[in-house]
Amino acid sequence: MLLVAAPASGQGKTTVACALARLHARQGRRVRVFKCGPDFLDPYWLALASGAPVHQLDLWMTGEADCARRLFAAALQADLIIVEGVMGLFDGQPSAADLAQRFALPVLTVIDASAMAGTFGALAWGLQHYREGLSFAGVLANRVASPGHAAMLQASLRDPAQWLGALERSADFTLPERHLGLVMDHELGDAMERLDAVADALAETALGKMCTQDLQAWSVTFAAGEEAVPDFPARALQGQTIAVARDAAFCFIYAANLDCLQAMGAELVYFSPLRDSVLPPCHALWLPGGYPELHAKALAANVAMKAGIASHVQAGKPAWAECGGMMALFEQLTDIEGVSHILWGVLPGRVTMQQRLVALGPQQLEVAGGSLRGHTFHYSTCTTPLPVVSRSQAAPGRTLRGEGEALYGTGGVQASYFHAWFASSPATTARLFLKENHD
């Protein structure tokens, strides 16, 4: 059991977590990986590396009890559990360190050592001793220039036993990024080759050479827990078919959200607004977030799909649109180059991409007569005459920059930049997709 952390974002946590998962999965071990905090992109890579679904762990958004249940269930099946942290080890409320401390997870620290030597040891020491009560597995140096550089880094550690090796800088296993995070695995023709390359490199380190018996030093016992299982109204969505947009433009989907809908009896059908010409027969529609700004021309050109979605909305059927899903419903999108694209025109208004991040952080939103937890993360703004039904609030202990995210409602459509974690209130989620709640 390891939690892969770092002193900051961009240090290589995902690369190392993927390498470790891929290395052990190739050796026939059952590997389960979790992602700390809200994130849609890293889990695609982690799932590819491990060969198993990846879920979120967050002491606030998903809840402590949910984290406990998922870790316990994984421990019953897996030979190795890996949790990838979020941002820096102590960043955020709650932080990766909070999660590690709550469940006694040993912390593997990944440090980008490309521009340091002796300071590497000071940084590793500081991370290990900043907070009492954390268990540390060791430190791994990333983006190292040479074996000689690695030797200097290793010598800088006060505790030699903390050294778990070094990964040299290599384009062969770099995971490319864009404005919202990592490029998705299926967009690259060599995604698995990159994972195999970094797994091969990790295999030469002290961490990579550890066998199952060695890893037992970092074993963790998880209690079954007596916390109440979340209330999934078993028949709340029985007989309801929900069409879920899923392709390169609409890809920000928590696997647990799909599980939540199915647990309440919904039948899920998937479609691609980029490729399909027909919206599947359905009672309700879910347009998740993603990258409509990268595919605006293709979305605009698919007039048959545009007509199908418009017909669904005009019939008063429910539609829940999150972030990118909401963006596509507006009349126009102006990209970062200043080029405007005509979109679906289901909602009046326009979206404009920005150079800088507009909003980020955990939030909660009053919707459909209840409250959902989730988060926001976007680089665009929207202008619309639609009335604001409600606004999101910051998570406890956090503050908002300006107003919270608006929830817009018209007919059966409810739309917001807010990304919801459905299991935070299954009953509220069910009401999003039931027509009687929109009549």
**Cα–Cα distance for residue pair 43/53, rounded to 1 Å:** 8
**Cα–Cα distance for residue pair 277/279, rounded to 1 Å:** 7
**Cα–Cα distance for residue pair 345/333, rounded to 1 Å:** 10
**For helices 42-50 and 13-26, angle between their N-to-C axes, nearest 10 degrees:** 20
The answer for residues whose C-beta is within 8 angstroms of residue 302's C-beta and 6 or more apart is 273, 274, 275, 276, 277
Quick one: which H or E segment has residue 147? helix 147-155
User: What number of helices (H) and strands (E) belong to the chain?
Assistant: 13, 26
Residue 407's SS3 state is strand
**Cα–Cα distance for residue pair 292/290, rounded to 1 Å:** 6
Place of tokens 């007569």: 369
The count of residues in the chain is: 439
The overall longest dimension of the chain from CA atoms, in Å, is 70
Residue 382 falls in the annotated catalytic set: no
Choose the catalytic residue: 36, 282, 323, 382.
Answer: 323
Quick one: which H or E segment has residue 394? strand 393-394
> Which residues participate in catalysis according to the annotation?
323
